[in-house]
């Protein structure tokens, strides 16, 4: 178990991570908006996430993108109205759900803009090496596991 040595919240790793994420999201949102794709950065994240999964449904999508059901519903509705995704009804454990699928138009947006997003991220992290990125991935996985373990112990 680690010992927290900092006296104030603003000196903790949690605060540092929160600031980094908020700044990063803001910067990526601005850069994505400059591409004039016809969708927002939030909608792009949802579109890309759906494209990664063969049988993804709303609850699973909500969990992955860390949005509540109403936010996810709103984004899905917009993407569907724009013809970027479709719903296909099916069942999971005898429950009716709809699976989300990316249309050809949606796939084209992801394919065209993902390389640009990768470039934006590369531009932001010019002083961080690949090995440091891998270390950060490993540490974030440990943070997530510890948090999940803590939360499950509280139940």
Q: Mind listing the pLDDT tens digit for each residue in 32-56? A: 999 999 999 999 999 999 999 989 9
Query: Residue 85: which of 107, 102, 110, 62 has the closest Cα?
Result: 102
Token pair 């943070």 is found at 143
Tell me what pLDDT residue 71 has.
96
Quick one: CA torsion of 4, 5, 10, 16, rounded to 10 degrees?
Answer: -70
The residues facing 56 across adjacent strands are 100
β partners of residue 88: 99
**How crowded is residue 96: how many other Cβ atoms within 10 Å of its Cβ?**
8
| Helix/strand/coil percent split, the chain, to 5 | 65, 10, 20
pLDDT in tens, the chain (155 residues): 566 666 788 888 888 889 999 998 999 899 999 999 999 999 999 999 999 998 999 999 999 999 999 999 999 999 999 999 999 998 888 899 999 999 999 999 999 999 998 898 888 888 988 899 899 889 989 988 888 888 777 76
Instruction: Look up the pTM and report it.
Output: 0.82
């Amino acid at each position: 178990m680690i010992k927290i040595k900092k006296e104030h919240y603003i000196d903790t790793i949690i605060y540092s991570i929160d600031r980094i994420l908020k700044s990063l999201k803001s910067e990526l949102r601005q850069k994505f908006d400059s591409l004039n794709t016809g969708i927002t950065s939030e909608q792009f994240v949802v579109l890309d996430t759906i494209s990664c999964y063969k049988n993804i449904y709303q609850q699973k999508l909500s969990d992955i993108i860390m949005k509540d059901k109403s936010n996810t519903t709103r984004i899905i509705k917009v993407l569907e109205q724009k013809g970027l995704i479709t719903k296909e009804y099916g069942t999971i454990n005898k429950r009716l759900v709809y699976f989300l699928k990316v249309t050809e138009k949606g796939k084209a947006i992801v394919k065209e803009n993902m390389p640009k997003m990768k470039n934006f991220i590369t531009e932001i992290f010019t002083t961080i090496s690949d090995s440091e990125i891998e270390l950060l991935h490993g540490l974030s996985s440990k943070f997530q596991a510890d948090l999940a373990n803590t939360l499950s112990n509280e139940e």
